[in-house]
Structure 1
Amino acid sequence: MDIQLSDQEREMINKVAAAAQELEMESYLVGGFVRDKLLNRPTKDADIVTIGDGIELAKAVAAKCVPAPQVNYFKNFGTAHIHTAGFDVEFVGARKESYQRNSRKPQVSPGTLEDDQNRRDFTINAMAISLNKQGYGRLVDPFNGQQHLEEKIIITPLEPDQTFSDDPLRMLRAIRFATQLNFTIAPETLASITRNKDRIRIISQERITDELNKIIRAPKPSIGFDLLYKTGLLRIIFPKMVELAGAEFKEGIGHKDNFYHTLQVLDNISAASDDLWLRWAAILHDIAKPATKRFEEGTGWTFHGHEVVGGRMVPKIFAQFKLPQHEKMRFVKKLVELHLRPISLSKEDITDSAIRRLLFDAGEDFDALMLLCEADITSKNKKKVQRFLDNFKLVRERCKEVEEKDQIRNWQPPIDGIEIMQLFNLPPSKPVGILKDALKDAILDGEIPNTREAGLEFLKKKAMELGVQS
């Protein structure tokens, strides 16, 4: 097989072939490595199938490496893994599988290469390259996977209903591969996903989220979300997103389809950044529009407060998807809550006070927020898009000017809550919070300079108004 290998890959493959020949085991490169090499995509790992004991072969290969890598193996599954020269290699004995209706965990028994290829999810993942002395480098392609690569088609090796019923995660994998590779899912395969969509309920949330994140990380994630929506899978795994779909008309006035608007924003942000969490912010920036939608006479459709309600929804959605609840979630929540602020600043005369507040609230995430706002412009009117972009450019310039002057990003007031308690002999209490917030507002609004001396003078006056004695 004429494929391009790096020196590390060639060295690794030669060691596998040599070890397999010494053990008199048939062995083959299979799956994603073969697919990606034929597509000239970069690879970081390889799967080896052997007609025999995969763990034994892994140990023999590790013994040929200097230094010898650790062999991690799972005896119950007959699989092993080594990491060598920056490369991950998985070993497994060829097997055949049978499934129970209520589980994606198969009953496994030893099998032939043909059995192993039959159990693969898609034809493009069922190709194998021989590492045997007889026929070394020969492509074993019983399902025309190479042809399907050329035709850019995702299709199952066997009858698709059986493939997806056996392991419903393959439905998400089909959509993920179509998204990552910009391939088309064959009509009969796509129809089968729609028929079998409810089987996805037996899959763990962690597995679903992993596939969803891979779709989100793709160059054009909208491909995957559109397929998830049209097959009905999205309604099961992310119903809140489906609620965005459709445009409602009343008195001849309609609003845009917020589902497809969201997909456009997601694609726009993906063209500008590969940050997964910024992409999640794009997905969730309008998530509360269905909950806040109202029709007002003389105004039309409104979504007042959708940024606030959406921010409150973010932790629940992250919990549902078992996504991290730490700073990544807080980053997405912040961007959802703030995504309208730069837009409002672009429509009016910008005061230094408003700029300072935006810089303070956005902090280190200001640039990410501006990327999201720019991605949120999805009008087909090019002049309108350019007008918004020009306005955002002005916002950026004013923010830069104010930041250079006032250093507001990650700013902390010159006098904190603990010192306020000491100054006025107060226990932790409501007056402390009032004084702290008043000081912050006074500085951000430009009433007083951002200095300790001005802060102390302001606090004394404010404390007297509250009846607090120093």
Structure 2
Amino acid sequence: MPNLQNYKEALDHQIFKVISQAAEELQLESYVIGGFVRDFILQRGNAKDIDIVAVGSGIDLALKVSELLPHKPKVQVFKNYGTAMLRAFDLEVEFVGARKESYSEDSRNPVVENGTLEDDQNRRDFTINALALSLNKSNFGDLLDPFNGLEDLKTQLLRTPLEPGITYSDDPLRMLRAIRFASQLNFVIQKKSLDAIKENYKRIKIISNERITEELHKILLSERPSKGFALLHKTKLLKIILPELTALEGIDEIEGQRHKDNFWHTLEVVDNISENSDNLWLRWAALLHDIGKAPTKKFHKKIGWTFHGHEFVGSKMVYKLFKRLRMPLNEKMKFVQKMVLMSSRPIAVVDDDVTDSAVRRLIFDAGENIDDLMTLCEADITTKNPRRCKKYHNNFKIVRQKMKEVEERDHVRNFQPPVSGEEIMKTFNIKPCREVGIIKDAIKEAILEGEILNDYDAAHQFMLKKGKELKLQPQ
């Protein structure tokens, strides 16, 4: 429940007394505003980021605060933006002068002028982010709430301080922030505000992909990401940002045969995985695991709808999507690609007659990511039929047990060949060549197929045998 009475306790930290003293010495008004106030009232843990508004120079106030603090922290000054930042105690404090803004049609970067606290609160994105606590000695701790944001916190409503159409058109990133806050806080966006997002959705095109991705990450990391993605879809923003996802929506029917709606199924998978993992990149894998189904969908009279090779196609699409959204094209992307590519593999080793070899190959191919892969596959169970749901979950328990037994015996996770390429070259007195690779691959295959044990002696003997077949003489 929101803490609607004791918000003055938010200012108990020593830093606020120092800021108040600095503002008094400079004869400035100062206020703490925005997320810190909001989150304290919502009791969302201890915020580490604090925004301070000064009616006057925020940079001067930051420098004075640093001067008054015993450890004299370094002040980072951003003259172009009229802001400054310092780290004190365990907090990051940003200072800005109160300002008013005006926007042009083709940019979210405003023309900024000095303003009053009222001007500054008017330019805030939502009423719940316009709440300010006074740091002035005359009214220290008083709440300034010109738009009734306290009531909106109580009723869990997201509203813009001014006309929503203007707010979103001026800075279209606020449309994503509205949806992100709705998802993170489990708030409802006011109907008038939601309608304004639907009207202005095309304006999102002037926002950089880096900023868009930042908001997508936060939506994905919320407790129930489907709420945010459903709102992105409802407002048509998702079609611009992630068309690969919206392409999955819909159910086709031919000759009485239908397939499930893979878009809404995907959102269920993301919610399922979010109950078990906070790993952002595993959540991305859940969001993208079926994107290859739209381009691979086909209908066959005898067998109905198929999506052959959708995992392979989807893993290739991941690269293009990450590149477009300016996400990292490093190990994080490769992890998502790998999860998408392997997302159907575990189900293939459920059958009673499956060989240990197939289980070994699954463990080998997934390597250190095998547990994440299993978590993804279990999250992919979205059937509403209780009997089927129980059966599928039991199947994956069987897979996990099989993997445990095989791994304990054969140790193929994070497999390292018992015989190295250097040893092969030394044994046969050869330089790097094709034969070295052939022998190494043959040893790996023999271990995975269960022909030999995963140990040095067995691999060494197999190396000698394979060398002989290749007409190599041991030295």
| TM-score (norm. length: structure 2) | 0.94
Cα offset, 1:460, TM superposition? 4.0
Matched letter for residue 26 of structure 1: E
Conserved? CA contact 2:411–2:454, under 8 Å: no
Identity within the alignment, % = 55
Secondary structure, in 3 states, of the residue corresponding to 1:41? Answer: coil
Structure 1 Cα separation of the partners of residues 213 and 431 of structure 2: 46
Alignment match of 2:146 (pick from 122, 142, 149)? 142
Structure 2 Cα separation of the partners of residues 437 and 317 of structure 1: 34
Matched letter for residue 214 of structure 1: K
Cα offset, 1:201, TM superposition? 0.9
Structure 1 Cα separation of the partners of residues 94 and 409 of structure 2: 56
Distance 1:360 1:28, change over 3 A: same
Distance 1:364 1:11, change over 3 A: same
What does residue 75 of structure 2 align with? 71
- Is the counterpart of residue 449 in structure 1 residue 449 in structure 2? no
- Is the counterpart of residue 31 in structure 1 residue 51 in structure 2? no
* Deviation per residue, 1:194-248 (Å, 9 max, x gap): 1111111111111010011000010000011111111111111111111111111
Matched letter for residue 19 of structure 2: V
What does residue 361 of structure 2 align with? 357
* Deviation per residue, 1:284-306 (Å, 9 max, x gap): 11110112111122211111121
Distance 1:53 1:68, change over 3 A: same
Cα offset, 1:5, TM superposition? 4.1
Distance 1:320 1:200, change over 3 A: same
What does residue 195 of structure 1 align with? 199
What does residue 20 of structure 1 align with? 23
Matched letter for residue 321 of structure 1: L
- Is the counterpart of residue 83 in structure 1 residue 63 in structure 2? no
What does residue 99 of structure 1 align with? 103
Cα offset, 1:394, TM superposition? 1.5
Query: How do 1:321-336 residues align onto structure 2 when only pairs under 5 Å count?
Result: 321-336=325-340
Matched letter for residue 359 of structure 1: I
Alignment match of 1:368 (pick from 372, 392, 402)? 372
Alignment match of 1:287 (pick from 286, 291, 315)? 291
What does residue 255 of structure 1 align with? 259
Secondary structure, in 3 states, of the residue corresponding to 2:260? Answer: coil
Cα offset, 1:315, TM superposition? 2.1
Structure 2 Cα separation of the partners of residues 173 and 146 of structure 1: 19
Alignment match of 1:390 (pick from 388, 394, 398)? 394
Alignment match of 1:40 (pick from 35, 43, 60)? 43
Conserved? CA contact 1:128–1:140, under 8 Å: yes
Conserved? CA contact 2:99–2:119, under 8 Å: yes
Distance 1:365 1:149, change over 3 A: same
Count of matched residue positions in the alignment of Structure 1 and Structure 2? 469
Conserved? CA contact 1:129–1:139, under 8 Å: yes
- Is the counterpart of residue 160 in structure 1 residue 164 in structure 2? yes
Secondary structure, in 3 states, of the residue corresponding to 1:50? Answer: strand
Structure 1 Cα separation of the partners of residues 470 and 303 of structure 2: 42
Conserved? CA contact 2:269–2:381, under 8 Å: yes
Matched letter for residue 248 of structure 1: D
What does residue 127 of structure 2 align with? 123
Alignment match of 2:350 (pick from 346, 350, 356)? 346
Query: How do 1:237-316 residues align onto structure 2 when only pairs under 5 Å count?
Result: 237-316=241-320
- More moved, 442-451 vs 217-226: 442-451
Structure 2 Cα separation of the partners of residues 312 and 452 of structure 1: 37
Structure 2 stretches of 5 or more lacking a match? none
Secondary structure, in 3 states, of the residue corresponding to 2:138? Answer: coil
Conserved? CA contact 1:4–1:37, under 8 Å: no
Structure 2 Cα separation of the partners of residues 173 and 386 of structure 1: 38
Matched letter for residue 167 of structure 1: D
Secondary structure, in 3 states, of the residue corresponding to 1:272? Answer: coil
Distance 1:238 1:65, change over 3 A: same
Conserved? CA contact 2:159–2:190, under 8 Å: yes
Alignment match of 1:433 (pick from 433, 437, 460)? 437
Matched letter for residue 332 of structure 2: K
Distance 1:423 1:250, change over 3 A: farther
Cα offset, 1:435, TM superposition? 3.0
Conserved? CA contact 1:79–1:93, under 8 Å: yes
Distance 1:101 1:425, change over 3 A: farther
| TM-score (norm. length: structure 1) | 0.95
Aligned-CA RMSD value: 1.8
- Is the counterpart of residue 417 in structure 1 residue 431 in structure 2? no
Structure 1 Cα separation of the partners of residues 318 and 15 of structure 2: 45
Distance 1:155 1:131, change over 3 A: same
Secondary structure, in 3 states, of the residue corresponding to 2:406? Answer: helix
Structure 2 Cα separation of the partners of residues 127 and 31 of structure 1: 6
Structure 1 Cα separation of the partners of residues 395 and 51 of structure 2: 52
What does residue 55 of structure 1 align with? 59
Matched letter for residue 320 of structure 1: R
Structure 1 Cα separation of the partners of residues 451 and 260 of structure 2: 42
Cα offset, 1:429, TM superposition? 4.8
What does residue 11 of structure 1 align with? 14
Cα offset, 1:452, TM superposition? 3.0
What does residue 207 of structure 1 align with? 211
Distance 1:429 1:348, change over 3 A: farther
Conserved? CA contact 2:77–2:85, under 8 Å: yes
What does residue 175 of structure 2 align with? 171
